[in-house]
Structure 1
């Protein structure tokens, strides 16, 4: 587990006064502004975030130190991270996506299947992108209790009970 979690990304400038279009990855989208200063992935820059209004697919927001459209445009694609300590603790059956990345996936018999490369959500629920030497490319595994009955962060592994034909 890392000490920072990606909570959003800057989608580009919004208007001409330095506002940005901010995409939130938080369960409650507006909470992105409540997690204290957010930093870039490399930690080189830090921003206080003030949400100004909802916009299509996110929020218009003011970031501290960003005062021009050009500066806001220059941040397009920048991912923003919050300290893990600022985030709410989760129930036992919920996980931050960052904690699932890199976990070893094994089947119910203990055979290693690969590693979790990404957690995706296209609107119908979370999918785990599984990559491994015995797989042809990536395999998308639905992240449901039936198919993924066990997530053990302490040992760094998950158990997958794939339906027939999923890994073929």
Structure 2
């Protein structure tokens, strides 16, 4: 069985005809959530085929084949939508369609990387990527057993180097003092 990559999470139903909101976990929603796309469910279960997709008030709404009422949509709440890793393409592909490669990484490529500060101090290792509506956070488990949550933005994480097995964190004052 191929490795699964989570590309979204089904949120609450929208309306009475089976549409659901989607918490996007991919940088390329215009590729992943098109009509006809077949998405798996993390851990197995019947695949879902997208039969409708549109944006409403800044949220992606999807309709899946066979999910035709609010009750059926509610039953899908919380399901993690996946694709097979071999369908993902390279994370350095032209993700936004502007002709230039974009820096992006799969979660699986970041977990386990050594995290160091710009001064060379070891913070620990990336243990998880937390996807939230406000932005992504890197969970970094420290050598002392503590954990730091670091906003995954270029100003704070200027270097991501999976081949070298590390990320570099340039923490603003106080970020690492809060536990």
Give the TM bin, normalised by the shorter chain: 0.7 to 0.9
Structure 1's consecutive aligned runs of 4 or more residues displaced over 6 angstroms after TM superposition are: none
SS of the residue corresponding to residue 116 of structure 1 reads strand
Which of 129, 138, 156 is 2:139 aligned to?
Answer: 129
Aligned to 2:6: 6
Q: Does the alignment pair 1:55 with 2:56?
A: yes
Contact 1:106–1:160, Cα closer than 8 Å, also in 2: yes
Give the Å deviation of 1:71.
1.6
Matched residues, number:
165
Give the Å deviation of 1:78.
0.9
Cα deviation digits, residues 134-160 of structure 1 (max 9, x gap): 264x32224355654543334644344
Larger RCO (alpha carbons 8 Å, 6+ apart): 1
Q: Do the aligned partners of residues 62 and 74 (structure 1) sit closer, same or farther apart at CA in structure 2, a change above 3 Å counting? A: same
State the distance in 1 between where 2:19 and 2:156 align: 42
State the distance in 1 between where 2:153 and 2:10 align: 30
Instruction: Map 1:5-44; keep pairs closer than 5 Å.
Output: 5-34=5-34, 36-44=37-45
Instruction: Map 1:1-168; keep pairs closer than 5 Å.
Output: 3-34=3-34, 36-89=37-90, 90=92, 91=101, 93-107=103-117, 109=120, 111=122, 113-120=124-131, 123=134, 126-134=136-144, 136=146, 138-145=147-154, 147-154=156-163, 156-162=165-171, 165-168=174-177
| Greater CA drift, 95-104 or 38-47 | 95-104
Q: TM-score scaled to structure 2, two decimals?
A: 0.69
State the distance in 2 between where 1:150 and 1:59 align: 31
SS of the residue corresponding to residue 167 of structure 1 reads helix
Q: Do the aligned partners of residues 92 and 31 (structure 1) sit closer, same or farther apart at CA in structure 2, a change above 3 Å counting? A: closer
State the distance in 1 between where 2:120 and 2:28 align: 38
| Greater CA drift, 158-167 or 46-55 | 158-167
SS of the residue corresponding to residue 176 of structure 2 reads coil
The CA RMSD over aligned residues, in Å, is 3.2
Unpaired runs of 5+ residues, structure 2, are: 93-100
Unpaired runs of 5+ residues, structure 1, are: none
